[in-house]
Amino acid sequence: MSRALALSLAVAAACSGGKGKSIEDARSAPKPSDATSAVPAATVHAYRVDTTAKTGDVQIRVEWKDVPQPLRAPGSPTSCGPARVPALAPSTLWGIPDVLVTVDVDHGKAFEPAAARVVLEGCSFAPRAVVAGPSVHIASAMLAPTTVTLQEIAKPLGGAAIAAAKPRTIYLPVAGHEVEAALEPNTVYTLAAGAGPDDLAVIVSATTPYVAVTEPSGNAVLRGVPVGTHPVRAYLPPRNGAEARSVSGTVTVTESALAEITLDISRP
């Protein structure tokens, strides 16, 4: 199918009165930006599928005791009226949700990314953090046309900060409209709504199955991790003016067992 025909079909779908869907041309996606190191460099390597490897599971807990009150308080009002959700919402045991975590291995089970989808409603995104593969679906539940911006902020997860990356503007004309945006591999993005911005979602384009987002309890479990001692990294995205934080450690995985590690994200 020619590119012109594909674009015509996308426009027709968006105007048909049903759930329109336009696909951002992957050839127009920006090239990787120059980076300057803001945190210790994370490992980047080729990943190979190894179905013969002995494996265990890893539970990663991310916590921050005595989170400062400004980070737990609601942010300034959005353009829709309600206050922005707090930058951090710790559990009663100080677990931190919506933190991106990874176990850094160069082999293991096949990576089959699920379709990642972020929805904008009431000037807020759900979910606030998501693991994607080579693309992400961005949907609108707003009554009026709106735009969002997608911008690279780090490469890889918890690694070098990207300086002056050019944001991509994505137009969402009506509720139910959905766009599929291409992503660079091993890159962390922010998805911003409004001019403020009103709220942020964070997206990581993973290339291995050992990347996850912590639950409301502050925990994430990664299954089928190869046996051995591996680096572990947690990345807390920037929110409501708070800076990003990254912390690392190591975990030793034994066959058919659950290895546990707790990372203190309060230390930058």
Range in 9-13, 81-85, 116-120, 198-202 with the lowest mean pLDDT: 9-13
Q: Which two tokens stand for residue 65?
A: 């005791």
Is residue 22 within a helix (H) or strand (E), and if so which, with residue range? strand 21-23
Burial class (CB in 10 A: 0-12, 13-18, 19+), 24: middle
How do residues 190-205 score in pLDDT, each as one tens digit? 999 866 556 789 999 9
CB atoms within 10 A of CB 46: 7
Q: What is the mean pLDDT of residues 83-109?
A: 92
**Residue 175: pLDDT band with limits 50, 70, 90:** confident
Cα–Cα dist 120/146, whole Å: 10
Of residues 98, 74, 129, 68, the one with CA closest to residue 266: 68
Range in 60-69, 94-103, 169-178, 215-224 with the lowest mean pLDDT: 169-178
Stated pTM of the model: 0.81
Answer whether residue 60 shows pLDDT above 80. Answer: yes
**Average pLDDT, rounded, for the chain:** 82
Cα–Cα dist 84/70, whole Å: 13
More confident residue, 143 or 260: 260
Cα–Cα dist 235/159, whole Å: 9
pLDDT on residue 84: 77
**Residue 36: pLDDT band with limits 50, 70, 90:** very low
Is residue 13 within a helix (H) or strand (E), and if so which, with residue range? helix 3-14
21-264: CATH number? 2.60.40.420
- Three-class secondary structure assignment of 37-83: CCCCCCCCCCCEECCCCCEEEEEEEEECCCCCHHHHCCCCECCCCCE
How do residues 199-241 score in pLDDT, each as one tens digit? 789 999 999 999 999 999 999 999 999 999 999 999 998 887 7
Maximum distance among all alpha carbons in the chain? 57
